[in-house]
Structures are given as structure tokens and as C-alpha cells.
Amino acid sequence: MRITTTALTLSAGLLCSLALPAQTLNTLYSFDHNELGYQPRSGVVVGSGGELYGALPSGGAYGEGLVFELAPPSSQGALWSEVVLHSFDPSSEGGCTTLLTLGPSGVLYGVTGYNLNNGGTVFQLTPPQGSNTHWHEATLQAFSSSNSGGVGPAATPVLGPHSAIYGTTGAGGTYDNGTVYRLLPPNGQGGAWSGETLYTFNYHVGDFGSSTGTLAMDDRGALYGATMGTVFQLAPPMTPGGPWVEKILAGLYYPNGVVLGPNGVLYGTASEGTLGSCNSACGSVFQLTPPTAPGGAWTETLLHLFTGGNYTEDGNQPDSTPVLGPNGVLYGTTYSGGLYNWGTVYELLPPSSPGGTWTEVTLYSFTDGPDGGEPMGVALGQDGNLYGTTFIGGVSPHGILNQGTVFELVLPQNANNR
């Protein structure tokens, strides 16, 4: 179902138009309560042909989640269509919980979380080849509660040199605070992937563990990520076979992973508080700038503090990693806040001169109506527009309410290209 809105307001319990300049939000698809899945807890990735890929924790052939493709319409006025690429079997795979990573040749990578039967997996989904019409799922790594390599993979996998896969687990390891792992591809066709633990989080040294969010990798092979209370760097060994070295870059209130920008600058969000302290669950967008001299401290900068309460324009509780757009603009979502308290899409504009103030603009406030509510992050499409999901809201083709949506937000600079 495709629903187009601009700005909305609630009056006497009814939806009506509000004549304000705003972006156009198109609801591309509303989920149903069936085997096609429902209530997404992560965003989407955009394919080379404009198709969208995502994961759902509920639904599918076994009721424990799936990976889907949402294909754009083939003709003007037609609807977007959902195809289930793979349903997860809880007895052997767990359920899909995080955002996917799109690799070369359209291959998808992701993780399933810990359940009663296993410690989660890292999986690969390969597009159909030749006469085969089905996507092929392969489990690259199965985690076990008896394995010191950790359990419950949590962060979105990142692809490194030589097709290696890097990620984190939320628990397990030597101190049961999670790990950072690497998977190496087989030497020959048909061989098994090999896994190794690069680092084990230790609460007692202050890195907290329970890593979540999105990992980033720089051109030197160093990893950057977030735990429940820090942003960390994990540097590769100085000599082959040596230990990876962790450095805590900042202490934050529940950061959501980081994105790497020009000159090695990191950007991210914290779901609660600021770089200092905050008595309310407001959340922030932050910047971490590398030191000018080797071994120096990273510089923490607060770019925006969300102040949105109920029914105010600003958002509240950003719970996804921001997206870096052209000219250094950041885009992201907040889980709540906004004009109707069902979350927002925001834009953060860099200053015109070094050291100036960043400017935050609320691009859209969700209503928990046909447009959805509680957004789960955005991705930047090749057309320059934003694509994402909402956890609730929407109206399915069968009239089922409140199972979540996939949306497109057309930014003003792209509106005339429609």
C-alpha cells in the first residue's frame, strides 16, 4: 500500500492536512500479521536496482523471523511487492534481529540472535544464479554458550579486506560481556568459514561490553563500535599474530554504533543523556575527532541534544546510527518525540565555518496512523531520498493495523525530479 502524506496534525481525533512546508513521506508497504512478517526492529538496505532489503523478527514459515525484499513497482501507479527470501528455523538458526549488510554481487550478510536452542549465527544469503530461482542461505558461523567466542551476535556485520566479516556478540566470552569476532572465508570452494575472537570485553576495565549497533572500519583496518556505555577503537596487531588493542574513546549513555566520516571523524547517537549528564531520556548526536598527534585523546563534541517531550517538534531517544549524506549532512530517526510523540526523521546540517553550530531540522513527525510510528533508522538511496521502517502503524492491504511500515521520505531537493 502506498500512502502519501506531507505534514499531518490531529484534530478531534481525525487526521487532516496542515499547510506547512514539509517533505513528502510515501508509505511504500504496510506489513500484515502473517507469514510475510511484521513489526520490523531494524531498517533497510538499498540494492543497486532500488530494491529494499530488510529483516523481520516475527513471521515467516516458522514464525521466528525472515529476510525480505521489497521490489519497486514495474509501472506507474503499481504497488511495491514483498518477497520472502528466507525464513529462519529456530531449531537451528535462531531469529533475525539486526540490519543487513549488502556485499559484492548483491550478497546479503546478517546475524540471528540467541535463543533457547543456540547462541545465534552469522549467515549469508546469495542471490539466485543460473536457472535457480531461489536465494541460497548459508550459516557461516554458529555461536554456542559453551564457546568462549561469545553468544548472541549483536552488531551489524562489517565487511573487511579479503572478504573477512567482523562483528560483535552481546554476551559470552571470557567475562561474559561479549566479544569482537572475525570470520575468514574458506580457501577453496565448498570449504568452511573459520572464526576467531579478536577481543573479549571486560567490564572491570571499563569497556562495559554488551556491544550493539553498527561497526565501522577505517582504511588501516581498525574497528570502531559501541558498548552499552562507551565508544571504542580496536586496532589490529602491530606484528602478525599479536593482540588486537582496545582503546576507549568516549563514555556515553547507550550509544548506538558509529559511522566513519572524512578524516577519520566518527559520528553517532546516544539514546539517553549527553556527553556529560542528563536527567531525562533525551539523547544526543555526537562527534569524535581523532587526535592530532599519535597517542593523544579523541575530542568529544555534542552536535545536538534532543529536547523533545510529548507533542513538541524535536525528537526524543535516537536509537539508530546516523547516516552520512552529501556535504557532511547527517540523517537519522528518533524512536519517540515529535509533534505526535511517535518519533521523527531528522536532518543535522554542519556549520558553514569550522567551530560553528550544527543545525537540527525535524524533517517528519510520525503519527502512528497510516504513515507508521516508532521509526527504526534510515538508509540513503541512490536517488538521494531516505528509506526506512517503522515498528508500528500502517494499514495493510487486508486492513490489518499497526504492524509496521516501509517508507520513503522524498527530500525537498529531489521533489522536482519526481
pLDDT at 102 over 90: yes
pLDDT at 357 over 90: yes
- Average pLDDT of 69-74? 92
pLDDT at 127 over 80: yes
Largest CA distance in the chain: 68
Residue 281, CB-side half-sphere exposure with 13 Å CA sphere: 11
Q: How far apart are CA 213 and CA 93, in angstroms?
A: 21
Average pLDDT, the chain: 86
pLDDT the model gives residue 15: 29
pLDDT the model gives residue 277: 43
Of 367 and 400, more confident: 367
Backbone angles phi, psi at 170, to 5 degrees: -85, -15
pLDDT the model gives residue 396: 86
Query: How deeply is 299 buried, as exposed, middle or buried, from its count of CB atoms within 10 A (0-12, 13-18, 19+)?
Result: middle
Is 165 within 8 Å of 196 (Cβ atoms)?
no
- Residue in the block written with cell 529494499: 52
Q: How far apart are CA 403 and CA 193, in angstroms?
A: 37
- Supply angle C-alpha 64, 68, 71, rounded to 5: 160
pLDDT in tens, 275-293: 444 445 589 999 999 999 9
pLDDT at 311 over 70: yes
pLDDT at 25 over 70: yes
- DSSP assignment letter at 417: G
Is residue 210 helix, strand or coil? coil
pLDDT the model gives residue 233: 95
Q: How far apart are CA 131 and CA 251, in angstroms?
A: 52
- DSSP assignment letter at 73: P
With cut-offs at 50, 70 and 90, classify the pLDDT of residue 5: very low
- Average pLDDT of 19-48? 85
pLDDT at 122 over 60: yes
The strand order across the sheet containing 245-251 reads 245-251, 230-235, 223-226, 212-217, 255-260, 266-270, 284-289, 299-305
Radius of gyration of the chain (CA): 21
Q: What is the pTM of this model?
A: 0.90
Of 349 and 114, more confident: 349
And the C-alpha cell for 257? 554504533
Of 147 and 142, more confident: 142
- Supply angle C-alpha 337, 339, 342, rounded to 5: 45
In single-letter form, the type of residue at position 8 comes to L
pLDDT in tens, 390-399: 999 999 888 8
Residue 55, CB-side half-sphere exposure with 13 Å CA sphere: 25
Locate the DSSP E strands across 92-210.
Answer: 101-102, 108-112, 121-126, 136-142, 151-153, 158-159, 165-171, 179-184, 194-200
pLDDT the model gives residue 346: 97
Tally of CB atoms within 10 A around 219: 8
pLDDT at 11 over 80: no
Of 235 and 312, more confident: 235
What does 75-120 look like in DSSP terms, one character per residue? STTPPPEEEEEEE--TTTT--B-S--EE-GGG-EEEEE---SS-S-
Q: By percentage, how much of the chain surpasses pLDDT 90?
A: 58
- Average pLDDT of 42-65? 93
pLDDT at 264 over 60: yes
pLDDT the model gives residue 19: 32
Handedness of CA 311, 317, 323, 328 (dihedral sign): positive
pLDDT the model gives residue 288: 97
pLDDT at 3 over 80: no
pLDDT the model gives residue 206: 73
Q: Give, rounded to a whole angstrom, the gap between the first and last alpha carbons of the chain.
A: 19
pLDDT in tens, 191-246: 899 999 999 998 767 777 777 778 999 999 999 999 988 999 999 999 988 999 99
And the C-alpha cell for 274? 549527553
